[in-house]
Chain A
Amino acid sequence: MKFGIVTFPGSNCDYDAFHAITEMLGEDAVYLWHKDHDLQGSDVIILPGGFSYGDYLRPGAIARFSPIMQEVAAHAKAGGPVLGVCNGFQIACEAGLLPGALMRNANLQFVSAKVRVRIENSDTMFTNLYERGEVLRIPVAHGDGRYVASAEVLDELEAEGRVIFRYADANGTLSADANPNGSERNIAGIISDGGNVLGLMPHPERACSPLLGSNDGVRLFESILSRVAA
């Protein structure tokens, strides 16, 4: 399987994603330059973390107009898998691939920490190798990660099982203390109505090796392999 990793000016997790895919997963990966119009036959698109366009205007607001995003949107519309991590989640929201938005952390601090997230739905192409209710240890590193949407949208996401990750404590209990950025309803990651676009603030690609303190992120990528290959 071939993963296409988009590099915007200011992306800084593209190499982390490349390393996770090629070294930890043993799959093919290519970098896709933001000015190109060619996904180079990629099966899965990753919008990586970073600070595309310096977060000018709003995080992700300018990146969504990059030429490659037209192709990414077409890929998503055709049901192709798209994984947006951190800045990639912000870009996906700005591009309308996912509902809602990511705002400044409630405590105004840039948070760089290993957090815990609870799996809310394991029946997706990104989480089928996890158990529902399982708690993962995954790093976050962001200043604008507070997920916000209207109450109607939040209710709809919950009713349709589209909230995939929530910040929780070690026992899987949701609390304000476990929520690093003040996200509505402790939401850390959501999926599109078609089930093929996942956005999350935590970095699964940085949790793919015991050497890095956690390999809880590996199964997210393996889930894609098992579902998309099958």
Chain B
Amino acid sequence: MARFRIAVHITPRKGLLDPQGNAVKDALHTLGFKAVRNVHVGRYIVLETEAYDAIAAEETVTDMCRKLLANPVTEDFEIESAVPA
């Protein structure tokens, strides 16, 4: 067993209203960043876990996302590659 660090990005499901993202987009426009077209606000979770290898660690974290870290109705998630912690 080795220890791995994995980062998870969780964002509102595409197509669903994202009022936080829209509010940030409007603020950026007000600041002069007129070119901004879309903003999505989500969560960034970093966790360390014991696993046999990086593949196993990533599989376990995918399972965690499905069961708890992301809501399957409203959110999408992406997992970064596991790195030795």
Contact = CB atoms under 8 A, between A and B. Distances in A.
B71 A58 contact: yes
A87 to B, nearest CB: 15
Given A57-B69, A61-B68, A148-B16, A103 B23 contact: no
Nearest to B69: A57
B69 A149 contact: no
B25 to A, nearest CB: 13
B20 interface: yes
Chain B contact-residue range equals 10 to 19
Q: Which secondary structure dominates chain A's binding surface?
A: loop
Interface residues of A, number: 20
A100 interface: yes
A75 to B, nearest CB: 22
A104 B20 contact: yes
Interface string A103-116: 11111100000000
A108 B16 CA distance: 15
B83 interface: no
B8 to A, nearest CB: 12
Interface string A147-171: 0111000000000000000000000
Interface of B: 12, 16-17, 19-20, 23, 43, 68-69, 71, 73-74
